[in-house]
Structure 1
Amino acid sequence: MPDGIPTPSVIPYLLYKDPARIRDFLVEALSFTEVATHRSPEGEVGNIALRMGDKFVMLSRAQPDMGLAAPGDLPAVHAGTMVYVADVDAHYHRAKSAGATIWYEPADMPYGQREYGVRDPENGFWCFGTFLPGSGLSPG
């Protein structure tokens, strides 16, 4: 695990058939930065740590024999990762320009944020949002 992660912290640990492919997508299309990629002695990707600002996400290989499935192997989306950004519309345009599959366009939501949804190459769900002024919500 990279240095600089405060404890306690909650870090999404996401499973994929090809975590390196998802890492590349998250870096190119969704503004994440790679922190570390850990490999087995055989060279297979194990865990990948990514960050956006001071927040982290971990990617790892799905292992069906251990009951750990990739999003595309499930009959429906079971979870998503919510990420708050300073400018959701600019983030959306970067993702769309990079060829990301947009699930829903940016919209002001009744629960006080502007957000959009995107699917990664293995059908994982990512939501990016910004709090609306006067919503009473804050990113702190």
Structure 2
Amino acid sequence: MTDTTTDTTTDPATSGHALPKPGVWPGVLYDDIAAARGFLTGVLGFTEALIVPDENGAVVHGELRWPEGGGVMVGSRRPDAHGGTGTLERAPQWIYVVTADPDAVYERARAGGATVEQEPHDTDYGSRNVAIADPEGTVWVFGTYPGA
């Protein structure tokens, strides 16, 4: 097992200070992984870092990176997902992605025909947010708040 606690990436905003690699990866399973990948990369702006298909073309492991840091895992919804014996059921959820320009994400999403759950708005805690639903209903909130 690799010790990822010592792996680092460079944060250009801090002139080369090392940051740990992401240790928390949200994961989303999709019925139509091809449509999801197209939406997440083509409309929202993620990039594909790794896609591992099985012999039938289902994605057993996928990693998408956000250009401003971090990432999300994606895969095909199937009964044996992650070694299980049943399909993981949807739970109430949303995924928050830090971005310097949520309005640009909003414009790309609108141009791509996405469902806008919340128009760009300023929050009481100093963030500017927009909420977009992907084709299968997962809500992605893009905002300027970087966390405490």
Partner of 2:65: 51
Partner of 1:103: 117
Query: TM-score, length-normalised on structure 1?
Result: 0.78
Q: Is it true that 1:68 corresponds to 2:88 in the alignment?
A: yes
Partner of 1:29: 43
Q: Is the 8 A contact 1:19 1:48 kept in 2?
A: no
Return the alpha-carbon distance in structure 1 between the equivalents of residues 119 and 139 of structure 2. 14
Q: 2:28 aligns with which of 14, 17, 27?
A: 14
Evaluate the alpha carbon distance shift between residue 95 and residue 8 of structure 1 in structure 2; reply closer, same or farther with a 3 A threshold. closer
Q: Which runs of 4+ in 1 moved over 6 A?
A: none
Evaluate the alpha carbon distance shift between residue 4 and residue 31 of structure 1 in structure 2; reply closer, same or farther with a 3 A threshold. farther
Q: Which moved more, 1:82-91 or 1:60-69?
A: 60-69
Query: TM-score, length-normalised on structure 2?
Result: 0.74
Residues 57-110 of structure 1 show CA distances to partners (whole Å, capped at 9, x for unaligned) of: 1111223551413x5xxxxx6001100111111121111111111111000011
Return the alpha-carbon distance in structure 1 between the equivalents of residues 40 and 88 of structure 2. 21
- Structure 2: segments with no counterpart, 5+ residues: 1-6, 10-19, 80-84
Return the alpha-carbon distance in structure 2 between the equivalents of residues 87 and 119 of structure 1. 18
- Structure 1: segments with no counterpart, 5+ residues: 72-76, 132-137
Q: Is the 8 A contact 2:8 2:21 kept in 1?
A: no
Identity of aligned residues (%): 38
Partner of 1:116: 130
Q: Which has the higher contact order (CA 8 A, sep 6+)?
A: 1
